[in-house]
């Protein structure tokens, strides 16, 4: 789907340990990808290819982390638009045979993201409703200036912005694309050392059980399970190499109500 997040990439401290951790936690399987110089493992969530795992190429410059790719119609035109909107082209467009044309950008606040113009037809990037366990289901942009970030991404990808009531007296700033919400925008907690960044959420059937398995598998729980309005429960964790991700357990009734009102 054009202008939607369609790929997820883990830059791992220890690739084999990361593969084992996520396989045990989410049931993911992997296939080696042969078109790159460095080892790359494609993540299979059931029958879908949803991302990849590779060795962190710059461990002295960035921590282990998850990155996102937005699918676009034209990578070079997107790079020019990023510049016009005040963003930064961190890595100019380049081609990977059989994959497509990629580029690495940073928004005006410094959050890094990638884009991809695939060689094949547009992907079907939308998660199922409700999201199934092990599926990437939500994204969160942590930024010191949410309004400026919203203007940037709306101008770049045409994403809509809204602040829906998510139940329990809570509102959330969100991005919408293709008619439905897919990402949130928030300011970091006071005193947080983390730079602006995009975070990923992965669906689980039971947040408490998943948190227990994260610990048993050598991961870390940074934020214990908490209610997300009336739409579900979440927790913030890190894998054994330090890459942060969130778990999300959907409340079916709350999610259905949210989609009926804002989808």
Determine the pLDDT at residue 164.
56
Determine the pLDDT at residue 170.
47
Determine the pLDDT at residue 64.
96
**What's the pTM?**
0.91
Q: Which CATH number fits domain 136-262: 1.20.1250.20, 3.40.630.30, 3.40.190.10, 3.10.180.10?
A: 3.10.180.10
Determine the pLDDT at residue 114.
99
Determine the pLDDT at residue 241.
97
* pLDDT tens string 97-140: 889 999 999 999 999 999 999 997 766 656 666 788 999 999 99
CATH superfamily ID and name for 5-118: 2,3-Dihydroxybiphenyl 1,2-Dioxygenase, domain 1 (3.10.180.10)
Compute the Cα dihedral for 98, 200, 256, 187 and give only its sign. Answer: negative
The parts of the chain modelled with pLDDT lower than 70 are: 122-129, 164-172, 179, 254-263
Q: Do domains 5-118 and 136-262 have the same CATH topology?
A: yes
Domain extent listing, the chain: 5-118, 136-262
Determine the pLDDT at residue 121.
72
Determine the pLDDT at residue 130.
72
For residue 119, the cross-strand partners are none
Determine the pLDDT at residue 201.
97
């Amino acid at each position: 789907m054009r202008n939607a997040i369609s790929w997820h990439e883990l830059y791992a401290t220890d690739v084999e340990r990361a593969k084992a951790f996520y396989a045990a936690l989410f049931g993911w399987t992997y296939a080696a990808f042969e078109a790159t110089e460095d080892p790359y493992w494609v993540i299979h969530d059931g029958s879908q290819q949803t991302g990849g795992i590779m060795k962190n190429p710059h461990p002295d410059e960035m921590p282990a982390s998850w990155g996102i790719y937005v699918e676009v119609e034209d990578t070079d035109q997107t790079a020019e638009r990023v510049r016009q909107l005040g963003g930064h082209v961190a890595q100019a467009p380049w081609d990977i045979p059989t994959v497509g044309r990629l580029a690495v950008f940073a928004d005006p606040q410094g959050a890094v993201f990638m884009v991809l113009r695939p060689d094949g037809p547009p992907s079907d990037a939308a998660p199922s409703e409700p999201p199934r366990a092990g599926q990437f289901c939500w994204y969160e942009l942590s930024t010191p200036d949410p309004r400026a970030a919203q203007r940037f991404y709306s101008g770049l990808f045409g994403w809509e912005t809204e602040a829906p009531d998510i139940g329990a007296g809570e509102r959330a700033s969100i991005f919408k694309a293709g008619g439905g919400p897919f990402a949130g925008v928030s300011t970091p907690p006071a005193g947080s050392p983390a730079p602006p960044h995009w975070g990923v959420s992965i669906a689980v059937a039971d947040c408490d059980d998943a948190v227990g398995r994260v610990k048993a598998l050598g991961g870390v729980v940074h934020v214990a399970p908490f209610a997300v309005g009336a739409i579900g429960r979440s927790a913030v964790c890190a894998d054994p190499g330090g890459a942060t991700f969130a778990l999300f357990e959907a409340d079916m009734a709350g999610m259905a109500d949210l989609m009926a009102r804002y989808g």
